[in-house]
Structure formats: structure tokens, C-alpha cells
Chain A
């Protein structure tokens, strides 16, 4: 089987801080393979059998090849860096369009296209859905478990309040839920193998898109302003041992506000 896994390089969230003006301090902050991407890749690698092939691809500047290198060390077989100055400033739509075009040209026979739930730096979580939409294939979100079946795959989707098992046809997009809090540590053998595989760079022309379909020019949204929001909640938590007493307190509160 052929698997395609979309990954992203992001700033290491544990190293990011905010300065006095509310701006992100990026200087000295290392870039890492997004933990959501890494989790998705690990789940795919865990399914890999003899004869299977796992390809990873990332859109980003040349230094994003570091994230792809890590993927190769973790067990991916091929890596593609989608890098072109015109890709800069892409919103989720332009990103999905670029990824869909790449998959169409380079991975059209993939049995499965996998994503992380979201990227740790943007946290929109829209790209997997938009990519599936543009490719006109089915999309399965919140996947916590996936295994091979006779004519495709079977996924477990966990929405928090409800979980279900569902058949996933070949060629679908899945997005895995979660990250691994204990992380991944590769062996030296894996590292030597990963550093021996070349990374192919793919530009805009190679995927057949016009300059107005990608990057900032191809984006449907514009960032007009960014604000720093306080994360302090204004609501009050009332802990009560008795439900009856809790109800009374709530009623008193509501009465007082009426």
C-alpha cells in the first residue's frame, strides 16, 4: 500500500514566549516537526508492512526539510518539500489547494492520505477537510485508531462524547486526533537510515498551479490585525458537595442578575 502523510514544521511551543507587547518571541526558538504531524506519521508507520511505502510531504521554506528529515528517521520512505517563494503567506485554503495539487501530481495512487488534527502553530484544523474537498474524496476526522481491512481501512473516530467504528475507503483523507505526550525517540540506526534518503523539492510549476492560486495571492482570507487575548476567565467556579445546595446558589445568582 502507498501512504501519504502531510506534515508541517512549527516553532517549538514549549520554547515560545510572549514579550511585553504581546508579540511572539521567535528569536532562538527552535523549529520542530509538528507534534500532531508526528503522531499521524507514527500511526501510519505502525501499520506499515513489508512492501508498503510511506511518503511524507511538507509545504514550507527550505529549512522545513529538517522536519522531513525527522520523518525519514522515524520510518518514512520518501520525502517531498513543497517550497516556492510564491507559497508564502498561504491561508488554509491556499495551503489545501497546494497540497491537493501536489497529491494529484505525485501521489494520485495513494491508498490513504493522513494528516494530524491541526498544526500546533495555527490550530485551525481546516486543512485536512479542505484538501479532501478539493480532491473530492472522503474525509475522516478525530481518528484515534486505524487498521487495514480487505477493501480499505477501518477507523475509530472519537468525538469525545461518542466514538464510532467506520469503514474508510481507499484514497480517503484521515486526520488523527491527539499527540503523544511521551514523544518519540529514534534509534541511531533509524537516524543513519533517515539521513541517507534524499528529499525531493517540488515548486509551484511542478504541481501545475498558477501564481494566483497559491500563497498570499491565492488566499481567501487576510490577516488585518492580531490581538493578544487574556486567557483569564471571568466566570466563577462554585464547588458544592450537595447538588441541592449548588442549585440554590445558582438560583440566587440568577435572581440577583435579573
Chain B
């Protein structure tokens, strides 16, 4: 009997064997379900055969979560589109298929183009269309071409986590197809663990198991696996589980009203001044920015260097001559007089001035400023990809550690000290509001690559020691499994494996993710 789903040989096509981590895997076929029924059929067949599948969507992850380590790739790329609008006591939400990109969701919301969408709750689409302003999904994990399913599976975060929290805080409901092809709808608040005993049913199956004994660190920005805690919500077991417990086939995410914002980049004479200004901005009640991003002097020099070769490679005006560090943030446009006065004070205190800045509230201005910030990792990604020819085992290495506010100075000093001791060229940029900068090493050889890996292990250990997370927003994937073990120990890892054995007894789902080999 022919199969009721599409399967293609991968052959020489590398597309399904890699993601933005630039790690390369191996797989025989790609499976391309168009509907949830096909997805369930695939898992039923593969579960009975015990053949592993690695779930992939837009492959924008940077930790290798969608890179296959054998078996087949289960690509959800045909399960795409916003399908409904609803409203409950918290507010409006969108219902989307797993491979819907954040860009697509935003396009629909900006244009209020709800034609063809179903009303998940009666009259929701008309009510949302009639609102005086537009709404948006506020989690901004930088890569807007990423899929909502992937974002939920990794509990993606980004700059706006500073104000809005991670993906988890915005998920209302998911539909999960389990390894044997059965499915369940998981709605926040409906199923909770009793102490550390989680029980739920899916189809004719009834699952009851002990959740791990550790507590997820929610004090800092953290995407190191699911948010395990006593009495936890079942939804939080799947969010951030990177496909090892089930495949997300539908997602409801909440929306919030879009506010007019002024984007600002404030330039500083050095990194130390910018980092001191972070503390003032963060503790100020008037400014209350949407996000707070850092670009160190080396990052700005990298952009200057790229622009000097091709001015349009980063389509922004030339950076001011004396700018050797920068903070990037969005302010809501109420009480602008008060905000400008406060910002002037803070800038003056730390060697900057309001004249040493860029700002804009128009979308094109804001896009240029985002381009500056986002072009830093892009330039490094492209550079690492260019090395793959001569050094196939090399992949991007960037730190993803967050620490509590009180440990920020110590962590920053540690980064600098170790990188300088090792003589590694680096730049530092990112989510300083959450004490979560990315430290990216500009690799030049396999020797540097190996040394950098070892230094990153030290960073991870230090972050954990300071009460932080070794994986704040990129998930664990396959690249950071040793960090997961470092964070929760062998016991934590064994306990997670026991949960996996209950939900996916043959271990077919996303082998290698989070739990390692």
C-alpha cells in the first residue's frame, strides 16, 4: 500500500541537513506533510518502524536543533498559514500552523487582513479589525523569517524579552502530535502537575510520570529546556522541549496593541561608559524601554570595515567618528519631554550627549537601526560559512549566557579577561538589558575553534555559578548539550530521559536534541 504522505530522497541537497548553526548532519529522506493527518500518519508509521525523525521548519535555529543525526527529516514547511483569530479573557490571539513565519503573522496584523480566517471565538476577527490601532505579537527573536512552531519549540527570545518576556509567556494553546501519531490540545491552565507528578491523556493513551526534580531558573532569561517546576503547566513541558516530546501542529499566541515607538541609538566614547549607562537606563522608571541592546566598539569597527568595502552592504548612514560603543533601545512616545530630559542626564553622566545619537519613529528609520544591530551576527555568520570549505567541522560559536543583574559586572569582566588571555579576536553585542550579550569570536583556524569551545565552556560554568543560564535564548539543540548536563547534572539529565521514554518510548523524535546521544 502506498504511503499517505510525501517522502523525497535528500541526495546531495544540503538544504535539509543544516541550519543557521552551519552544523551539518545526515539523513536519507525528507518527509513533507501538508496536513495534520499526514503528520500523524508519518509519526504512526515511523514509530512502528522505530525510525528517527528530526523536525524542521524554517531552519533558522543556531544550535543545530533541526540538523538531523540520521533517520529522516520531518519538514513542516507545507504546514503554514494563519488559520484563525480568537479572543479570551486575556485578549486577542492568532491561531497559526507551525511553519507560519513571524513575518507572515505581522503582515496580516498590520494590514488587518483577516479574510479567510476562522473565528476561533465568535466575532473575534471583526472585533480585532475594528480596534482603533493594530496589534502585534511582541516576541521579537530577531529572525522574523523563523516559524512560530520553531519559536515555541525552542521558547525563543530576543531583544523584546526585556519587556515582554519569552515566547512561553505568549502561548495560549498548542496542539501536539505525539510520537505514536496521537495528538492532544494543551491549553494553558488546564493541566498541571500534582507536585512533581504529571498526568494527561492523548487519544486513547494515558500518560502519568514524574517530572525532573530540578527547578528551572526563571530569574534570568533562560531557554535551557522546558520550564520544569513543581505544579508546572503541561504546556511548559512542550514549550522549549525542542521536539523531543512531540511535534507542534498548531499554535495559539496572544497579541498586544502596537504602540508608537521612538527607536534610539546612543553612542558612547567607550564600552565601559555604555555599560554604566545601562544600569541608569534599566533602573529608571520614566524611560522604561521596550528593549536594551549593546554594540561594543569592536562590533562598530566590524560594520565600519564592511561598509568601507561596500557602503550598501549595511544600508545605514556612516557611523559617527567618535562612536566606540552604542546602546540601542525603543521608547514609547508618551511623555517625550520627560524622557528626553532623563536621557540627556544619563548621556551626560557617561560621556555621551543627545547630539551623539540616532533616532527615528518611522518604520524605515527603525529598520535601518535594526539593520545595524542585526548585521553584526549576519556578517559573522557569513564569515564562518565562508570557512567551511577549508574547515568543514567549523561552525559558528557565540555565547548565549545570561546572569542576574547583580552578577553582570563580574560576568562581563570574566568574558574580557579570558578572551584577552587566549588572544582571541571577538566582538560583543546583544541583549544587555537582560545581562545577555552575545560574545562572538572571529575564528581564523581550527586551533582557535577548539580553544574558543573550551573558553565557552568556562563561560557557561561561570554563568551557572553566578546564578545564570548557559543558554538564554538559542535553546540547547545539539551544540549545547554539554551545557544542559552542566546545568542540571547527571541526575537532571536522567530524569529528563525518563520523561522522554514515557512520551517517546522508541526515541524517534529529534534524537540528539537537549539530551545528547
Give the residues in chain A near B315, CB-CB below 8 Å.
181-183
Bound-state CA distance A28–B344 (Å) is 33
Q: Does A124 contact B (CB under 8 A)?
A: no
Task: Give the CA-CA distance A30 to B363 in the complex, in Å.
Answer: 8
Contact B112 A27 (CB under 8 A): yes
Contact B112 A184 (CB under 8 A): no
Q: Is A32 an interface residue (CB 8 A)?
A: yes
For window 234-280 of B, CB contacts with A under 8 Å fall at: 264-265
**CB within 8 A of B317: which of A32, A183, A189?**
A183
| B110 closest partner in A (C-beta) | A28
- Taking a contact as CB atoms under 8 Å apart, the answer to whether A185 and B355 are in contact is no
CB 8 Å contact bits of B356-394 with A (1 = contact, 0 = none): 111110111100110000000000000000000000000
Q: Which 10 A-B residue pairs are closest in the complex by CB-CB distance? A: A185-B358, A188-B354, A189-B355, A28-B110, A28-B111, A188-B357, A189-B354, A187-B357, A188-B359, A182-B315
Which applies to chain B's interface (DSSP): helix, strand, loop or mixed? mixed
Task: Return A42 CB to nearest CB of chain B, in Å.
Answer: 10
Contact among B312, B356, B365 with A185 in the assembled complex (CB-CB below 8 Å): B365
Asked whether any CB of chain A lies closer than 8 Å to the CB of B134, the reply is yes
B340 at interface by CB-CB < 8 Å: yes
Is A191 within 8 A of B359, CB to CB?
A: yes
The distance in angstroms between the C-alpha atoms of A195 and B344, with both chains bound, is 16
Please determine whether A186 and B112 come into contact, CB atoms closer than 8 angstroms: no
Bound CA span A27–B114, Å: 13
Of B112, B264, B356, B359, most A-chain CB atoms within 10 Å = B359
Query: In the complex, what distance in Å separates the CA atom of A15 from the CA atom of B366?
Result: 14
When each residue 169-188 of chain A gets 1 if its CB lies under 8 Å from chain B and 0 otherwise, what string results? 00000000000011111111
Contacts of B348 in A (CB 8 A): none
B112 x A187 contact (CB < 8 A): no
A195-216 interface mask toward B, CB cutoff 8 Å, 1 = contact, 0 = none?
A: 1000000000000000000000
Instruction: Assess whether B316 is in contact with A183, with CB atoms less than 8 Å apart.
Output: yes
CA distance A46 to B248 in the complex (A): 56
Q: How far is the CA of A187 from the CA of B317 in the complex (A)?
A: 12
Known: A32-B364, A186-B358; 15 extra A-B contacts, CB below 8 A, are A12-B363, A14-B364, A70-B362, A183-B315, A184-B317, A185-B265, A185-B316, A185-B368, A186-B359, A187-B355, A187-B358, A188-B264, A188-B340, A189-B355, A191-B359
Q: Complex formed: what's the CA distance from A139 to B295 in Å?
A: 46
- A192 an interface residue at 8 Å Cβ cutoff? yes
* B360 close to A185 (CB less than 8 A): yes
Of all chain A residues, which has the CB nearest B266? A188
Q: B364 CB to closest chain A CB, in angstroms?
A: 6
Give the A-binding residues of B (Cβ under 8 A).
Answer: 110-112, 134, 264-265, 311-312, 315-318, 336, 340, 343-344, 353-360, 362-365, 368-369
26 contacts between A and B (CB under 8 A): A25-B111, A27-B112, A30-B362, A32-B362, A32-B364, A182-B311, A182-B312, A182-B315, A182-B317, A182-B318, A182-B368, A183-B315, A183-B317, A183-B364, A185-B265, A185-B316, A185-B368, A185-B369, A187-B354, A187-B359, A188-B340, A188-B354, A188-B357, A188-B359, A189-B353, A195-B336
Residues in A neighbouring B358, C-beta threshold 8 A = 185-187
**Cβ of B338 to closest chain A Cβ, rounded Å:** 13
Instruction: With both chains docked as a complex, state the minimum distance between the C-beta of B327 and any C-beta of chain A, in angstroms.
Output: 13
Contact A192 B354 (CB under 8 A): yes
Q: How far is the CA of A43 from the CA of B306 in the complex (A)?
A: 26
List the A side residues contacting B336 at CB < 8 Å: 195
| Contact surface of A with B, Cβ cutoff 8 Å | 12, 14-15, 25, 27-28, 30, 32, 70, 181-189, 191-192, 195
Give the nearest-CB partner of B361 in chain A: A191
A25 to B115, CA, bound (A): 14
- CB-CB under 8 A from A12, the residues of chain B are 362-364
| Total residue contacts A-B, CB cutoff 8 A | 67
Interface contact B356-A187, CB-CB below 8 Å: yes
**In the complex, A106 Cα to B362 Cα: how many Å?**
30
Q: B364: which A residues are within 8 A, CB to CB?
A: 12, 14, 32, 183
Contact partners of B368 in chain A: CB under 8 A: 182-183, 185
Given the contacts A182-B311, A187-B357, A191-B359, A27 and B111 also touching, CB distance less than 8 Å? yes
- Would you call A28 and B317 a contact (CB within 8 A)? no
Contacts of A186 in B (CB 8 A): 358-360
Closest beta carbon of chain A to B186's beta carbon, Å: 33
Residues of A within 8 A of B317 (CB): 182-185
Contact between A182 and B363, CB atoms less than 8 A apart: no
Q: Chain B CB within 10 Å — which of A12, A184, A191 has the most?
A: A191
A207 to chain B, nearest CB (A): 29
CB B359 to nearest CB in A, in angstroms, measures 5
User: Nearest B residue to A31 by beta-carbon distance?
Assistant: B362
**Complex CA–CA separation, A185 to B318 (angstroms):** 10
* Chain A residues, Cβ within 8 Å of B264: 188
User: How long is the Cα–Cα vector from A182 to B363 in the complex, in angstroms?
Assistant: 14
- Give CA–CA (A191, B356) in the complex, Å: 12
Contacts of B112 in A (CB 8 A): 27-28
A4 to B355, CA, bound (A): 26
Closest to B344 in A: A188
User: How far apart are B260's CB and chain A's nearest CB, in angstroms?
Assistant: 11
Q: Shortest CB–CB separation between residue B303 and chain A, in angstroms?
A: 12
In the bound complex, how far is the Cα of B363 from the Cα of A195, in angstroms?
Answer: 19
Contacts of A27 in B (CB 8 A): 111-112
Contacts of A30 in B (CB 8 A): 362-363
Residue of A nearest to B263 (CB): A185
Q: Given the complex, which residues of B lie within 8 Å of A25, measured CB to CB? A: 111
Question: Chain B residues with Cβ under 8 A from A191's Cβ?
Answer: 359
A118 → chain B, closest Cβ, in Å? 18
Task: Give Cα A253–Cα B369 distance, bound, in whole angstroms.
Answer: 51
**A181: which of B134, B312, B360, B362 is its contact (CB, 8 Å)?**
B312
How far is B110's CA from A14's CA once the two chains are assembled, in angstroms? 14
Q: Which residues of A are found within 8 Å of B265, using beta-carbon distances?
A: 185
Distance in angstroms between the alpha carbons of A94 and B416 in the assembled complex: 65
Question: Most chain-B CB neighbours within 10 Å: which of A15, A184, A187?
Answer: A187
